[in-house]
Amino acid sequence: MQTFLVGGAVRDALLGISHAQSDHDFVVVGATVEAMLAQGFKQVGRDFPVFLHPHTQEEHALARTERKSGKGYTGFTVHASPEITLEQDLERRDFTINAIAQDADGHYIDPFHGRADIEARVLRHVSAAFAEDPLRVLRAARFMARFAPLGFRIAPETVALMREMSARGELEHLVPERVWQEMQRALASAAPDAFIRALRESNALRVVLPEVDALYGVPQRAEYHPEVDTGLHTELVLQQAAQIAPGDDRIGFAALVHDLGKAVTPKDELPKHIMHEQRGVPLVNAVCERLRVPLRHRQLALSVCKEHLNVHRIFELKDSTVLELLERNDAFRDPERIDALAATCEADKRGRAGLQSTPYPSADELRRLFAVAAAVRASDVAPGLSGPAVGAALRKARIQAIHQARAA
């Protein structure tokens, strides 16, 4: 019975990434379920034998092999036994950089040359078995979102295999929860735009996010968007969102879907996109329904979709219109949404070729005017009033407060 550290902890240590950011997973070779239980491990795996260490609570899995037995990422028969070797276990893993083991003495077991691929900054599949699990296409894209800033690229042969999987319709068997899980992690990564590019390069974006895929090739007015292509603009906005709000997948999702309406602009209106905010609303809702996106992500995404042009021109809005914008977006019950709306709109404005460092005073102005309006309380401005009169007095006072703040 031998225990090896495997997967992300080994990979990240070789990349110089802190162990605190990595899961510590172990594979146990030469053991049985009974032997693990006898040593005090607690079994938690349903589909295959996974155990929690009695003291550290770290996961230990018996060495296993997998055989394709159905469609999708769940269609596998798992075999775990003392006869399974470490190399057989590593061979079933997705990428060579994840197929490295380390023994108790610190020696590496690297039968698929993962360390060489780490040095070369290449994401490469371990074997042809990669094609049996469609979730691995999304995992490849998600790893690019994390590792592209380190110089990683996907090996050409892996891209080719991902395209074959897309063409065979394998991705259509993915359940929404798993798609969203991978997407959410990618949107919280350092380079969420690399996630979208990797999916598009493998022809998977049109399956996973057809609404985003449809943005590519749609022109915008060059005087406002030097990058012209709406898909490229979306990538640039994702880049800016990751810099403005690092690790915030909610802002990342809103950035991803803010311009979906531009894909359905009538061709005779191009490159203008009149009413693209309103046209985008049903598309944002469709993505959220299909992927079962959490409510707060949907709320912010819809706010950004509908309001980003209003926020851009906040200095031109009337005082009453500013208050209406705040009220429409539930600012006084959900103040955090206004801050996130401001951040995402900043990412939109700066997500343009050559304009990434452009100042965006509208974000701070939205936050400032909201703070002024929120400071007005009904108890201060509507003493002795009741019913609708309270709301009317409060609105009037808040509009006045916004006016005074702008005049100062």
Asked, for residue 211, whether it belongs to a domain, the answer is no
User: Could you give the CA distance from residue 180 to residue 115 in angstroms, rounded to a whole number?
Assistant: 30
Asked, for residue 400, whether it belongs to a domain, the answer is yes
Asked, for residue 17, whether it belongs to a domain, the answer is yes
Asked, for residue 364, whether it belongs to a domain, the answer is no
> Structure tokens of 42?
């607690």
Q: Are strands 42-43 and 64-68 parallel, antiparallel or unpaired?
A: unpaired
pLDDT at 392 over 80: yes
Is there a contact between 166 and 207 (Cβ–Cβ < 8 Å)? yes
pLDDT bracket for residue 79 (50, 70, 90): confident
pLDDT at 122 over 70: yes
Asked, for residue 88, whether it belongs to a domain, the answer is yes
Q: What is the pLDDT of residue 68?
A: 56
With CA atoms as reference, report the closest residue to 39 among 24, 48, 26.
Answer: 26
User: Could you give the CA distance from residue 212 to residue 233 in angstroms, rounded to a whole number?
Assistant: 11
- Based on DSSP, count helices (H) and strands (E) in the chain, helices before strands: 19, 11
User: Could you give the CA distance from residue 302 to residue 382 in angstroms, rounded to a whole number?
Assistant: 33
Is there a contact between 43 and 49 (Cβ–Cβ < 8 Å)? yes
Asked, for residue 32, whether it belongs to a domain, the answer is yes
User: 3-class DSSP state for residue 292?
Assistant: coil
Number of Cβ within a 10 Å radius of residue 395: 17
> Structure tokens of 74?
């769940």
Q: What is the pLDDT of residue 207?
A: 95
Tens digits of per-residue pLDDT, 326-383? 999 999 999 999 999 999 999 999 999 999 999 999 999 999 999 999 999 888 888 8
What is the domain range of residue 89? 1-118
Mean pLDDT of the chain: 93
The CATH number of residue 29's host domain is 3.30.460.10
Residue ranges of alpha helices (H) inside 174-330 are 176-187, 192-201, 205-208, 210-213, 230-244, 249-257, 276-291, 295-312, 319-328
pLDDT at 69 over 70: no
Q: What is the pLDDT of residue 378?
A: 86
Last residue of a domain, one of 99, 118, 137: 118
User: Could you give the CA distance from residue 272 to residue 263 in angstroms, rounded to a whole number?
Assistant: 12
Is there a contact between 257 and 214 (Cβ–Cβ < 8 Å)? no
Last residue of a domain, one of 60, 86, 118: 118
pLDDT at 63 over 80: yes
Q: Are strands 64-68 and 76-80 parallel, antiparallel or unpaired?
A: antiparallel
Asked, for residue 277, whether it belongs to a domain, the answer is no
Tens digits of per-residue pLDDT, 222-244? 999 999 999 999 999 999 999 99
User: Could you give the CA distance from residue 138 to residue 198 in angstroms, rounded to a whole number?
Assistant: 9
Q: Which amino acid is at 140?
A: A
> At a CB cut-off of 8 Å and minimum separation 6, what does 331 contact?
337, 338, 370, 373, 374
User: Could you give the CA distance from residue 148 to residue 260 in angstroms, rounded to a whole number?
Assistant: 25
Q: What is the pLDDT of residue 387?
A: 86
pLDDT bracket for residue 66 (50, 70, 90): confident
pLDDT bracket for residue 191 (50, 70, 90): very high
Last residue of a domain, one of 118, 153, 174: 118
Number of Cβ within a 10 Å radius of residue 208: 23
Task: For residue 62, give the H/E element and its range.
Answer: strand 59-62
pLDDT bracket for residue 17 (50, 70, 90): confident
Range 91-115 average pLDDT: 95
pLDDT bracket for residue 60 (50, 70, 90): very high
Asked, for residue 9, whether it belongs to a domain, the answer is yes
Q: What is the tally of structural domains in the chain?
A: 2
Q: Which amino acid is at 216?
A: Y
Q: Answer yes or no: pTM beyond 0.85.
A: yes
Helices 135-147, 192-201: inter-axial angle, 10-degree rounding: 140
Is there a contact between 54 and 40 (Cβ–Cβ < 8 Å)? yes
